[in-house]
A and B are shown apart, each in its own frame.
Chain A
Amino acid sequence: MTMATFMQQLTNGISLGSLYALIAIGYTMVYGILRLINFAHGDIVMMAAYFAFFGIAVFHIPWYITFLAVVLLTALLGIVVERTAYRTLRDAPRTSILISAIGVSFLLENLATYLFSGIPKAFPEFKFMTTPFSVGGVLIQPLVVVVPVVTILLLFVLLFIINKTRLGMAMRAVSKDYETARLMGIEINGVISATFGIGSGLAAVGALMWGMKYSSIQPLMGVMPGLKCFIAAVIGGIGNIKGAVLGGFILGLAEILLVAFLPSLTGYRDAIAFIILIIILLFRPMGILGEKQTDKV
């Protein structure tokens, strides 16, 4: 393998990794606050892709307006899902809310199949994002560069919100001790809504870039990425945002480099995530950046 191909694969891996990272953040944020694995998160990604498809291909709204609307709509969808399917079960045993999450996932998948049909749709093409340019013999799509840059930027904004703003402080307080936070006057419903809104909004950005990259969307497109991003969050240490990003990059790189170095194993590209997960769980169950869990008394 030449240096050029290696660099090519490396950029591809980083690019895929950032997509995973964006979606993984949503899993980790919700887990951090509610101790809930939001199984519907992958399907929220799918819905975002369809919102974009309808905005651009069906209603011919300029892409920049569509993108903004998609992020807002998806954030709203995340908030609505929490209000209807999770909030009512807040005091129920944790398994109930988990089952509810799986239910929402099935609901969204089947709703999408019913409304948009199971036939894949072509995601609108963005020539300026996909026409490759050459850097020292390496052919690169602008998208491949844009994706990690956007991810890193959003990560900084998110870390700023979490570490420097009142909302972020409230989020950290709620994730540490929900009961005490309420007794300090924090309105937890607002904090939880904001968490779902932000997580889903980031997933929407991921979905937009996912659509541009793979150019075809269908109602079950969120399942596999959803699973992998959940794994990414677990690998990095669930509940930890930097961990989710790290996990996303590890998975993306592992997947692409496996295909590049061992082409005969290409069929196993989806399996690599699970293999990494098993190894991590065996040796560091709390994830790479995770903290050891101590039970609350």
Chain B
Amino acid sequence: MSILKTENVVMQFGGVVAVDSLNIEVNEGEIVALIGPNGAGKTTAFNCITGVYIPTSGRVLFEDQNITGKSPDKITKLGIARTFQNIRLFKDLTVMENVLIAKHLHVNYNFLSATLRLPKALYGERQMKNECEELLERLGLTAVKNEISSSLPYGMQRHLEIARALATNPKLLLLDEPAAGMNPHETDELTAFIKTVKDDYHLTVFMIEHHMDLVMEISDRIYVLDFGQTIAKGTPDEIQNNDRVIQAYLGVQEDA
């Protein structure tokens, strides 16, 4: 069953067509990758899906519901979470606070009862804290939970971004270049990490990535963008042997 579907999504900035009739379908439980050269429109596609941009035309469907033009917070509440290409943690806040912020929207007590410390709110708050602790534990961030997030090493900041995205209880996780700036060893670790997280939290993963080893290893299917156009789609094997893709993006072996 398809969890995410874009129908002829076009995103235009002035005269520039960043994304041109994008038709993507991601099925529940899959790991799907979106690849392509820099400037191909991959992040723009993510921004259209998460409501940061409103597409010029076309529709975005999440679980068969039209979410085109909905605000980012509503889309997050429906179950789409994302990470960013350039890490965008709340820098001055602690690791725990970063996760708590993402968690807070699932707690159903209001501001007044929270301020007055009513029992329900206190219970909710404790439960929320516990869930966050558990999440940090799973992602190996417990030891640094009270550190300011910007003081963490790069790899941990990437993990924290994923932890923060998971805290919103997503069904669909969008990862924007999760392995950017990682060395081969860290990339291997991340590959395993994404798989475990996906299974543990019953997620569907849709990701943008340039590390071909990672992409080819974990993706069920791949879409290739170039200059806003979808130039290919298929399984890793099909993509690796697709002439257009090799020409536009993969290049000869040494380039990868």
Known contacts A167-B111, A297-B86; decide if A184 and B52 are in contact (CB<8 Å). no
Taking the complex as formed, is B77 at the interface, i.e. its CB lies under 8 A from any CB of chain A? Answer: yes
Beta-carbon nearest neighbor of B91 in chain A: A176
User: Contacting B72 at CB < 8 Å: which of A161, A166, A183?
Assistant: A183
CB atoms of A176 and B93 under 8 A apart = yes
Give me the interface of A with B, judged by CB distance under 8 Å: 161, 165-167, 169-170, 172-173, 176-177, 179-188, 194, 297
Find chain A residues with CB under 8 A from B168 CB. Answer: 184-185
User: With the chains together, A194 CA to B92 CA distance in Å?
Assistant: 22
User: With the chains together, A75 CA to B142 CA distance in Å?
Assistant: 41
CB atoms of B164 and A177 under 8 A apart = no
| Residues of B81-138 contacting chain A, CB below 8 A | 81-82, 84, 86, 88, 90-93, 97, 100-102, 104-105, 107, 111, 114-115
CB atoms of B50 and A183 under 8 A apart = yes
Known contacts A172-B90, A183-B52; decide if A166 and B114 are in contact (CB<8 Å). yes
Give me the interface of B with A, judged by CB distance under 8 Å: 50-52, 71-73, 76-77, 81-82, 84, 86, 88, 90-93, 97, 100-102, 104-105, 107, 111, 114-115, 164, 168
Find chain B residues with CB under 8 A from A177 CB. Answer: 88, 90
A5: min CB distance to chain B, Å: 43
CB atoms of A169 and B104 under 8 A apart = yes
A selection of 28 A-B contacts at a CB cut-off of 8 Å is A165-B111, A165-B114, A167-B114, A169-B97, A170-B104, A172-B90, A172-B93, A177-B90, A180-B84, A180-B90, A181-B90, A181-B101, A182-B51, A182-B52, A182-B72, A182-B76, A183-B76, A184-B102, A184-B164, A184-B168, A185-B76, A185-B102, A185-B105, A186-B101, A186-B104, A186-B105, A187-B73, A297-B86
Find chain B residues with CB under 8 A from A187 CB. Answer: 73, 105
B87: min CB distance to chain A, Å: 10
User: Contacting B73 at CB < 8 Å: which of A172, A176, A188?
Assistant: A188
Beta-carbon nearest neighbor of B125 in chain A: A166
